Amino acid sequence: MKIGFIGLGIMGKPMVRNLLKAGHELVVFDVIKENVDISVKDGARAAASAKAIAQECTTIITMLPNSPHVKTVVLGENGILEGAKPGTILIDMSSIAPLASQEVEKACSAKGVKMIDAPVSGGEPKAIDGTMSIMVGGDKKIFEQVKDDILLKMGGSAVHCGAIGAGNTTKLANQVVVAVNIAAVAEAFTLAKRAGVDPQLVFDAIKGGLAGSTVMNAKGPMMIASNFKPGFKIDLHIKDLGNALDTGHGVGAPLPLTALLMEMMQTIRADGAGQDDHSALAKYYAKVSGTKIGD
């Protein structure tokens, strides 16, 4: 199958690679030429614009940073809707505001384009090994049409969560849980270090019990090693928490922990950590306690 793919960042490039491994033909576009060059080296073919991709591909995936980027790529000049044929399927795998998904889908529907929102969880490591969790909103028939041959070639699971926007609502819930979990790990390891107990030994002792989690297994060792190379950046998590807070305000859902985590992340971003992995929440605790978890 020929698939258009727009957005070749940390997540997009390995997703393209896995689709190529599955035997699909990929036509790609990104505003950063170096990203395109990497995907072309992997076996994809470059296109000049989102419009150009839509003119030759009837299945298109977008993986972009936030709502404005999706609106520009889909609705803007030289965008997808300028080139798309009726019946084209758009799979937006970006993590954006649910209301933005609904707005874009409405414009797509008016042009005969079928859209689902399908954000992912797992960060770069799971994008690389094709085991991401994919949460989907939109027409269930379209979901079933693309689930096995496309979505499950990039992810280990794909779950239909409801109408358009439900995928992004689910992703926001995911991001709240992840952020609070990362903060809890950083707080616990800081307590251990301040009390004179090796955080590595604490990790080894508790990871198999109730406190154990995928988040702690992935982010705890990074904190202990002071390795904050981004798999998912603080800046992107701030974006997601902002969308969660906006959505919570809109539906009347109280999000006090989310608001606190937003301020913690904003604090370390102001100190220059915005491009670090979100495990760099440990830097907040280092800042307020004077004690680093790692050496």
208 and 74 within one domain: no
Decide if 295 is inside a domain: no
187 and 137 within one domain: no
CATH of the domain at 240: 1.10.1040.10
127 and 213 within one domain: no
| Total structural domains within the chain | 2
99 and 50 within one domain: yes
153 and 9 within one domain: yes
57 and 193 within one domain: no
Predicted pLDDT at 40: 98
CA 231 – CA 41 distance, rounded (Å): 22
Torsion angle in degrees (nearest 10) through CA of 181, 187, 190, 191? -120
How many alpha carbons lie under 13 Å from residue 137 in its C-beta half-sphere? 27
pTM of the predicted model as reported, rounded to 2 decimal places? 0.91
143 and 272 within one domain: no
Distance of alpha carbon 146 from its chain centroid, rounded?
Answer: 19
Predicted pLDDT at 295: 80
Q: Which residues are catalytic?
A: 171
Q: What DSSP assignment string belongs to 234-264?
A: HHHHHHHHHHHHHHHHHHT---HHHHHHHHH
CA 253 – CA 77 distance, rounded (Å): 36
CA 11 – CA 94 distance, rounded (Å): 10
Q: Give the tens place of pLDDT for each residue, 193-207.
A: 999 999 999 999 999
Decide if 146 is inside a domain: yes
Decide if 55 is inside a domain: yes
Decide if 294 is inside a domain: no
- Please determine, for residue 155, whether its predicted confidence score (pLDDT) is greater than 90: yes
CATH of the domain at 41: 3.40.50.720
Full domain range(s) for residue 130: 2-162
139 and 99 within one domain: yes
Q: How confident is the model at residue 140 (pLDDT cuts 50, 70, 90)?
A: very high
Three-state DSSP class for 131? coil
124 and 14 within one domain: yes
276 and 218 within one domain: yes
